[in-house]
Amino acid sequence: MCCSQRGSVTSTTLAKAGAAEDRGPVEHSLAMKLAPALLALALGLGSATARADAYTWGGSSGRFDVEVTVLGFNEGMGEGGWDEGSAREFAAWARRFNAIIPRGSSVSVRRDTLDDATKLTIRRGHEATEIRIPGGVDLDLALKIAARSFGVRRAPKLRAPARLFTIQLFASRTEAGAARFSGDMNELGVEADASFYHEACLPCSIPTTRTLGPGPDRRYRVITGVFDSPRAARRSLVALRRAWKVGGFVREL
């Protein structure tokens, strides 16, 4: 748990059959990434060629947050850090959750390497309800449960793609030039803080910057951080300039 609060905690475990009945037809691709690892754990399989011992992903946006770590990936999952497509999907889910969570409340989803179920925690002030959902992470089911808990009859659908923002540090006409600058920043450890989404293999060395491009102007851009609002990106840029004396500006991904 991220916080310690006084108050009551109610715990419930969903029956496997009930969970299957509640599961909607929409399968989130982030959850699908977990399936091979969970299957490998269930079958007791291992691989000598595994690139990492574990894979972790998660994020925090508004009143909603997720933290997931699972064992057994051998496909290089998370080696490059956060993936734009996964970050955009998480932002979309976060918007749907935040639309039903009232002020003073929060929803969190947790699953760790030794867990046999996903833990959904719904907080209202100092009171919390913990619901254990058998199987892998299912954000669609978690959203339905949270909506019912807050008295919302139907969770909202998305009508527009989620927007993402980042901090651009550098641009070059050549890929090699951008790669050199990115390498220098990674070596120094220059990194935007407070990204709303993260993804990584464990143990791994995750680059702090990455290169985009080429864009319409044929330039390659070096960026750091991923944010679901320009305000959060600007706050991170101020801290980045203060800590590293680097230039840069906020741009949309």
Per-domain residue ranges for the chain? 9-149, 165-196+203-252
The pLDDT > 70 percentage for the chain reads 81
Query: Minimal CA–CA distance to 69: which of 243, 201, 212, 247?
Result: 201
Structure tokens at 215: 């864009």
CATH class of 165-196+203-252: alpha beta
Q: What are phi and psi of 82, to 5 degrees?
A: -65, 145
Top-confidence residue, 57 or 7: 57
Model pLDDT, residue 205: 87
Predicted confidence (pLDDT) per residue in 90-122, tens digit? 999 999 999 999 999 999 999 998 899 999 999
pLDDT at 43 over 50: no
Distance CA 199, CA 55 (A): 8
Average pLDDT value for the chain: 84
pLDDT at 149 over 60: yes
Residue 194 — pLDDT band, cuts 50, 70, 90?
A: very high
Residue 1 — pLDDT band, cuts 50, 70, 90?
A: very low
Q: What is the pTM (predicted TM-score) of this model?
A: 0.80
Model pLDDT, residue 75: 66
